[in-house]
Amino acid sequence: MDTQYIIVDLQQGSPEWHTWRSTGIGASDAPTIMGENPWKSPARLFSEKIGDVNPFASNAAMARGTDLEPEARKRYQSISKVHVVPACLQSKKYEWQIASVDGLAVDGELVVEIKCGDSVYQKTSSTRQVPGYYFGQLQHILAVTGFPYIDFFCYLPGLPEVNLRIERNDRYIKRLNIAEESFWNRILRHRQA
């Protein structure tokens, strides 16, 4: 099977994974670069990428989400009937464009982004739409994979799961690729100075 990405053999959360994340622009960086992240500015992200400041530390809600992810992945698999595994991906077109995905189908044809937070669950379940601050993350993953859609799966124990299939937006991805490449080139220029 010919794909637009390669799978990088890393364990998410490992020291090697953290080092790898500094070698490119990841999916969670995309909303910040596109000005859609209400919690982080592009200037802050740039400072993190060049090592001037440490990335924001994980909080209790983020830790809970990480802890719930394996359980959520099992529920997603049960509902979708698709076996998925966490994976680290790198674009073949843009080496700097990377993504740590929550679930990649073993046949390499489907990807899922899992969210286990209270706020994102409430927003997604009430509106049946992805919160705007996650749109860039999803489109970045679609840019890396070349897939036509991504599943956005929200999970909280004891509540009905929410699974939205989000289609690829090529117009947005074109703007995203330009913005990310410009951002990455600024990082490279700074590192070479």
Which pLDDT score is estimated for 56? 65
| Nearest-5° Cα angle at 11, 7 to 12 | 95
Which pLDDT score is estimated for 54? 78
* Fold topology of 5-188: Lambda Exonuclease; Chain A (3.90.320)
In the chain, where the domains are located: 5-188
**Chain segment 103-136, per-residue pLDDT in tens:** 999 988 899 999 999 999 999 999 999 999 999 9
What letters, b where the CB count within 10 A reaches 16 and e where it falls short, cover 77-103?
beebebebebbbbbbeebebbbbbbbb
DSSP characters for 88-135? EEEESS-TTBEEEEEEEETTSS-EEEEE--HHHHHHHHHHSS--HHHH
**Chain segment 135-188, per-residue pLDDT in tens:** 999 999 999 999 999 999 999 999 999 999 999 999 999 999 999 999 999 999
